[in-house]
Amino acid sequence: MQLFDPDLLRTFLAFVDGGSLAQAASMVGRTPSAVTAQMQRLEEIVGEPLLMPQGRGRGLTPAGEDLVGHARRILSVHSEAWLALKGARADGRLAIGTTQDFADSGLPNLLRAFAVSHPRVRIELRVGRSVELAQALQSGLLDLTIAMRQFPTPDEVGVLREPMVWLCSQKGLVSRQDEVPLALLDPHCGFRDAAIATLDAAGRHYRIAATSASLAGLRTAVNAGIALTLRTARFAYSGIVRAPRDLGLPPVPIAEFAIRLRGEAQSPARDLAALISGNLASSGGFG
């Protein structure tokens, strides 16, 4: 009997969550040919095809659909075992900062697993914008951050790659016009810059219909149907969905989030950073 390689399962789930082999390659930081080879290896282990042609891309076979749940459970148990061996005697304080995207989706389950295995570690959680979190890390107020990546830094211990998507209210826009109505965070914001640059490059007219200093305000504007926005699929819940294709919106890039660790951080912070690096991208919840 051949055992499942967790690395193969993570790539498989990146395909499931990203929707294509190209997106999976970007998310796991491999070339498309390497991802294809990994999927072929996984199919050899399973003994039957996991992917099949679907339109212009690839979809899951029935065996592939069945593997999704098993893959998530295997990676979860793998993480639990690793944490149990690492954290029983650890104590102290751990300050982590994250953007709202991960605070809402993915990170809570990982923090729960970490707290079970590191019961004596006090966790301090700060949710904020990427620029604020970077400043807090540099000043020593945080041990670990998950924030949008502007450029590579020496303290990076992992990079999460997720597709950006156009999002709008489930009820649709209040009115459709030639100009694309945008709801954006105040500067400086990577998603704001990407939305404007993408529409400019495509020659699409747009207007900034709503701005906010917080994601809560942004969500309210989008839910009201005033405008659409650009985020990752983690923002798509509670009435917010992917924008319909008939809006003709241009393709958008991959978002990169850096996991950064303070140089003087103690072992609990390093354990959590390793857990996040290996599992947050494949934690499954986009809502």
- Is residue 285's pLDDT more than 50? no
155 and 259 Cβ atoms separated by less than 8 Å: no
- Is residue 107's pLDDT more than 60? yes
Query: What fold does the segment set 6-81 form as a domain?
Result: Arc Repressor Mutant, subunit A (1.10.10)
pLDDT (average), residues 72-94: 71
pLDDT in tens, 162-208: 889 999 999 999 887 789 999 999 988 899 999 999 999 999 999 99
Predicted local distance difference test score (pLDDT) of residue 50: 92
First and final C-alpha spacing in the chain: 36
Quote the mean pLDDT of the chain. 87
Q: Provide the b/e sequence for 170-201 (b: ≥16 CB within 10 Å).
A: eeebeeeeeebbbbbbeeebbbbebbeebbee
Which carries the bigger pLDDT value, residue 275 or residue 223?
223
Predicted local distance difference test score (pLDDT) of residue 284: 40
> If we measure between CA atoms, which residue out of 230, 222, 232, 241 comes closest to residue 283?
232
Quick check: bond before 188 cis, omega within 30?
yes
Class level of CATH domain 90-159+255-279: alpha beta
d(CA 202, CA 166): 14
Where along the chain do its domains lie? 6-81, 90-159+255-279, 162-254
pLDDT in tens, 111-138: 988 888 888 888 999 998 898 999 999 9
Query: What fold does the segment set 162-254 form as a domain?
Result: D-Maltodextrin-Binding Protein; domain 2 (3.40.190)
Residues 6+ apart with CB under 8 A from 115: 121, 123
Beta strands in the chain (DSSP E): 51-54, 57-60, 91-98, 120-127, 144-148, 156-169, 180-185, 206-212, 229-232, 240-242, 254-261
Of 13-17, 33-37, 90-94, which range is least confident? 90-94
Predicted local distance difference test score (pLDDT) of residue 286: 32
In CATH terms, are 6-81 and 90-159+255-279 the same topology? Answer: no
Give the pTM. Answer: 0.68
Q: What is the band of 263 on the pLDDT scale with cuts at 50, 70, 90? A: confident
206 and 182 Cβ atoms separated by less than 8 Å: yes
| pLDDT cut 70: percent of the chain above it | 93
Q: What are phi and psi of 274, to 5 degrees?
A: -65, -40
Residues 6+ apart with CB under 8 A from 172: 225, 244
